[in-house]
Amino acid sequence: MQKIKEKIIEFILRATALITILTTIGIIWVLLSESLVFFKEVSIIDFLTDTQWTPLFANKHFGILPLISGTILTTIIAISVSLPIGLTIAIYLSEYAPKKLKKFIKPLLEILAAVPTVVYGFFALMVVTPFLQKLIPEMAGFNSLSAGIVMGIMIIPFISSLSEDALSAVPKSLREASYGMGATKLQTSFKVMIPAASSGIIVSVILAFSRAIGETMIVAIAAGQQPRLTLNPLVPVETITAYIVQVSLGDVQHDSLEYRTIFAAGITLFVFTFILNNISFWIRKKFREEYD
């Protein structure tokens, strides 16, 4: 009797774990099935090469490039803010800061990632843009610069925390050898520690990239809703995620071509983040236990 009960319990536990696999299958199935119908009506070549995205207008164009450029532009701005700051924090915490300070600061920085993104969107639109407009008068009310900067602040803890873990994992002997040669902490950090922890640091940056590409509310609020193939950070753009929000808020008929565009946009986004996440797994696996 007891044995049967144990078997049943194990079966139930395994079933709940399998829900996660079903989720993945569900995501891929939903994105693929709706996109396939979409690509019957719109050629995939047009989708990938047309430079205009106007599915909601009378003159319809279905080129995803403007949405991709908007997404990459905001992401690059975000990474250029968070990488230098995040990496400096990581070095400071692992090489300079006393242990107590480190224990205090790490959870404090996590607050940045805990704030709901809609709140950051408000900051970008209501605080950062008006401030930047004073410095750059020709800047538009919606732009990728403020959205990117604020997103960069949000992802600081992603980079700082993972990079700090990577730096802490470098064996002490390397650091001590460097000190023994008379190097300062700064020289040791940049010439010994960062190269030694480089794979972990790269992983942290890739994950931050992936996070920034999928970020939705900040860009939906502050970057605008105008798909535009540009690298100018001062004008309104639209990201893949912001487009999906825009369509979801409107009353687009289910089973229409316009409705399916959000799945085509979604699968593009999914492919990007999927590739980035898997590159990071691969790096982590390949370079793990390098020093053991």
Partner 1 sequence: MTNGEKNRLKDSIFKYIGVFACSIGLILLAIFIGNIIYDGFNRIDWSFLTSLPSRKAEKAGILTAWSGSLWIVIFTFIIAVPIGISAGVYLEEYNRKNKLTRLLEINISNLAGVPSIIYGLLGLEIFVRLSNLGSSVLAGSFTLALLILPIIIVATREALKAVPSSIRAASFGLGATKWQTTWYQVLPAASGGILTGVILAISRAVGETAPLIVVGALAYVPFTPKGPMDEFTVLPIQIFNWVSRPQHEFAINAAAAIIILLAITFTMNGIAVYFRNKWQKKINW
Asked if 164 contacts 94 with a C-beta cutoff of 8 angstroms, the reply is yes
Which CB sits closer to partner 1, 28 or 232? 28
CA distance 222 to 124: 6
At its nearest, how many Å lie between partner 1 and the CB of residue 269? 6
Which CB sits closer to partner 1, 9 or 51? 9
CA distance 125 to 211: 20
Interaxial angle between packed helices 240-249 and 65-91, expressed in degrees from 0 to 180 and rounded to the nearest 10: 120
Burial of 261 (0-12, 13-18, 19+ CB in 10 A): buried
Which CB sits closer to partner 1, 112 or 229? 112
At its nearest, how many Å lie between partner 1 and the CB of residue 262? 7
- For residue 93, give the amino acid letter: L
- Separation in Å, CA 90 to CA 66, 105, 226: 35, 11, 37
42's torsion region: left (phi>0), alpha (psi -120 to 50) or beta?
beta
At its nearest, how many Å lie between partner 1 and the CB of residue 69? 18
CA distance 45 to 40: 12
Which CB sits closer to partner 1, 17 or 45? 17
At its nearest, how many Å lie between partner 1 and the CB of residue 196? 18
Q: H or E element: which one contains 278?
A: helix 257-287
At its nearest, how many Å lie between partner 1 and the CB of residue 59? 26
Which CB sits closer to partner 1, 51 or 126? 126
Structure token pair of residue 180: 């023994």
Structure token pair of residue 24: 């993945």
At its nearest, how many Å lie between partner 1 and the CB of residue 277? 4
Which CB sits closer to partner 1, 54 or 187? 187
